[in-house]
Amino acid sequence: MTNRVTVIGSLNVDTILEIPRLPKPGETLAMGDQSFAGGGKGSNQGIAAARAGAETYFVGKIGEDANGKFMVKSMTDSGVNVDQVTVTKEAKTGQAFILLDKNGQNSILIYGGANQVLSVKDVDNASDIIAKSDFLITQFETPIEVAEAGFKIAKKHGVVTILNPAPAREVPTSLLAISDLVTPNETECETLTGVKITDEASMIKGAEKLHEMGAKGVIITVGSKGAFYHTADGHYGFVDAFKVKAVDTTAAGDTFIGALSTQLKKDLSNLPEAIRFANRASSITVQRMGAHPSIPTLAEIEAAETADK
């Protein structure tokens, strides 16, 4: 059965600057190349879900500009329903400027733009779509009150809520209390719980703190190592990442979230299997350049699985 996934989130046009390393203060550094691609944590997650097989809907905001039209096309080309992506005259479409070094690591500057104009009213207008979903995903590149409004609608209708608490920031306990699955990386987990993630014991401690705050399930992603999971009933474990040579880590975490949502059961009973699938999808993303262009299709994920056997 195909999962129905709705994402509330950001839409950004990414400008990717390829550099040998980050410049020092006052230093001028030559770039290797420059390129443009669709991005934004929200839209990356929506496209990842759609390409990996979910029936996917998106709630977001763009400016009245060419970048906005570009983002809508990028989403619809991947099969994402954008009926609830609305246009504002108050701000330009969001943008991100990605400094990508020769080792595939990135540093990112974000202009929130129209993403920050997304409102509770926009979410209320999408309530029918949210109510009919299996999963609702959101992140922190749009206002937190928007995330909370969406999750409240979801909880009224038995929709499973997935909170990707990125970029890292403090989160109201009222939002965590209605988050079924929270998916921080090590830094984000420390911001949420005060627990520094260094080993399995600290991961367990961080997850237990998130359970105390209301989360039923926790996944702590640790980059190229893989992902740790912990459920409120005490089941936990670690799912190793697939070893590949990364050329660009942009959208790897977002691909993980989107792909995960396509496989997950609503009771979270198959977390390890869904994480393995999501790890596989991410391993493909990091081997390619850009955000939207790097996100794999279901056929590509299945082909990678077959090639490994």
Task: Write out the binding residues for ATP.
Answer: 185, 221-226, 253-254, 279
Beta carbons within 8 Å of 160's beta carbon, 6+ residues apart: 134, 135, 136, 154, 180, 181, 264, 266, 268
What integer pLDDT is reported at residue 143 of this predicted model?
97
Predicted model pTM: 0.94
DSSP H stretches of helix in the chain: 41-51, 66-77, 120-125, 127-131, 144-156, 173-176, 186-193, 200-213, 252-263, 271-285, 298-308
Average pLDDT rounded to a whole number, residues 280-307: 94
Residue 234 predicted with pLDDT over 90: no
145-161 per-position pLDDT tens digit: 999 999 999 999 999 99
247 — pLDDT class (breaks 50, 70, 90):
confident
Neighbour-count burial of 299, counting CB atoms closer than 10 A to its CB (0-12 exposed, 13-18 middle, 19+ buried): exposed
Residue indicated by tokens 């989403």: 75
Residue 1 predicted with pLDDT over 90: no
Calculate the alpha carbon distances from 58 to 80, 82, 142, 227, 236 in Å: 7, 5, 13, 26, 31
Calculate the alpha carbon distances from 243 to 173, 197, 284, 286 in Å: 36, 22, 10, 11
215-230 per-position pLDDT tens digit: 999 999 998 899 999 9
Residue 84 predicted with pLDDT over 90: yes
Task: Write out the binding residues.
Answer: 12-14, 40-44, 141, 185, 221-226, 248, 250, 253-254, 279, 285, 288, 290, 294
Q: What are phi and psi of 11, to 5 degrees?
A: -130, 115
Task: Write out the binding residues for substrate.
Answer: 12-14, 40-44, 141, 254
Domains of the chain: 4-10+40-93+115-308 (3.40.1190.20)
105 — pLDDT class (breaks 50, 70, 90):
confident
> Which is the catalytic residue, given 128, 254, 267, 308?
254
Classified as helix, coil or strand, 54 is coil
What integer pLDDT is reported at residue 38 of this predicted model?
94
Q: Is 101 a catalytic residue?
A: no
300-309 per-position pLDDT tens digit: 999 998 887 7
